[in-house]
Structure 1
Amino acid sequence: MAPTDHAPGKLPEHEATYRRLRDMVMFGELEPGQKVTIQGITATLGAGMTPVREAIRRLTAEGALILHENRRVSVPRLTPSQVEELAFARLALEPRLAALAMERLTPAGIDRIESLDQALDVAIAAGETRGYLAGNYRFHFALYDVAGAPILTSLTQSLWLRFAPSLRVVMTSDGAIGPDLHKEALSAMRAGDGRALVSAIEGDIRQGIDRVRADLHQALLRAGRGALPPSA
């Protein structure tokens, strides 16, 4: 489920269309709750109606899209209970992947992860929502892919597909991007310190989750529905 890096002509149209639409969802091009027409998606992707419908079917099954009766789709807004479930699952899986990756990292691998973080910094400086979300994904999964744990990595990718669209608030809720702990993670990688790496990744995840919780809390207050329940 890595971001689309293949030229469309090298993949079957249905797979290329699925990956492009998945990336639109994951990297914030479709705001949670925003309804868009299937025809509009087809025009944006420059794809046929059949592969677009198939991509929507797959993403709906994965919980990343909601299909409405009026030929529109939307990225679901997370509920408080869904945020807590995703938080629990991410904090269970991703630190473990980081620990496994630390045992297999090479200097060249660390260099590659650092270059991805530098590209992410460029997107942050430019205030590019899609660039930030894509760069953040690439940083984390460049590390997790090293772990050699394909089942855990696949489960984590599914969690990101549901959670990542809500990370738009990290860039847009107050006009600034919250700090991440990527530099601390990189320092731990260079030092070969697995515990420090796990701590940095866990802290980085918690920062994003806390920003999503805070945004949802404010949305519920504006709607007169009360506050979020205490986190686990």
Structure 2
Amino acid sequence: MNQVSNTLTVNESTYRALKEKILFGEMLPGRPVTLRGLAESLGVSPTPVRETVRRLTAERALNLQDNRRVSIPEMTAKRFQEIRHARLILEPELATLAMINIDKKTIKRLIDIDIKTDLALYKNDFSGYMRGNYDFHFTIYRRANNDVLLSLVESLWLQFAPYMRQVYNHLGTTALDDQHRMATKALENRDSIAFKNAIMEDLQQGMTFIGASNTLL
């Protein structure tokens, strides 16, 4: 029983660690790595890495190549539009469902996250910005208590985040306006329409900026 439990723990921790590498832009499109190289970077044996790669390939976050190399899929114009369309449908809805469960303590946490994210944005700290942006959105989304929608949205972020980081490496992030403060103000005022609109505008702005980068295939 303990051996089974330990195996599950190693597999799950490996999955989470590699997922974070993808979400926060530590792996970029067009840069294949070996399974052994991934195992070494994560400090585990190849066995849990193979299982993790299988899961993330099924989630369309990775491509497994014939030569035992793994890569982030390149972003095409068609795929970008499909992800954009799905995000604009799902994320404002998930945020709206979450609003009733967001208390003052959570609003304070969101404001603190936003301040740190703004600082990272000012410094062109891409990793810090992406972590803060993820924390802000998913602190909200998890309050919806809807695991089905949450898993769909996280899958979209896994597919999109490496390309976001690639664009930021080229163009920076200072051209982005902060829409998070509008969202927290709406939460403070318990204004569900303004909150949903702020989330929608945040998504629209970010996707438009990235889509105009002329880096799509």
| 1:1-232 matched pairs, under 5 angstroms | 12-169=9-166, 171-177=168-174, 178-215=176-213, 217-220=214-217
Larger relative contact order (CA 8 Å, sep ≥ 6): 2
The question of whether the paired residues in 2 share the 8 Å contact of 1:169 and 1:212 is answered with no
The residue identity in structure 2 corresponding to 1:210 is T
After superposition, what is the alpha-carbon deviation per residue over 1:136-194, rounded to whole angstroms, capped at 9, x for unaligned? 11100101111222221121111111112221145322234322311111111111111
The question of whether the paired residues in 2 share the 8 Å contact of 1:169 and 1:211 is answered with no
TM-score normalised by length of structure 2: 0.90
The question of whether the paired residues in 1 share the 8 Å contact of 2:167 and 2:215 is answered with no
Q: CA deviation at 1:82?
A: 1.0
Name the % identity: 43
Q: Distance in 1 between matches of 2:38 and 2:166?
A: 23
After superposition, what is the alpha-carbon deviation per residue over 1:66-100, rounded to whole angstroms, capped at 9, x for unaligned? 11122211111121111111111111111111212
Q: Distance in 1 between matches of 2:212 and 2:94?
A: 27
The residue identity in structure 2 corresponding to 1:180 is D
Deviates more, 1:135-144 or 1:116-125: 116-125
- Could you say if the C-alpha distance between residues 56 and 44 of structure 1 is closer, same or farther in structure 2, counting changes exceeding 3 Å? same
SS of equivalent residue, structure 1 residue 12: helix
The residue identity in structure 1 corresponding to 2:178 is D
- Could you say if the C-alpha distance between residues 201 and 80 of structure 1 is closer, same or farther in structure 2, counting changes exceeding 3 Å? same
Q: Distance in 1 between matches of 2:113 and 2:67?
A: 40
Structure 1 gaps of 5+ residues are 1-8, 221-232
Q: CA deviation at 1:104?
A: 2.4
TM-score normalised by length of structure 1: 0.84
Structure 2 gaps of 5+ residues are 1-5
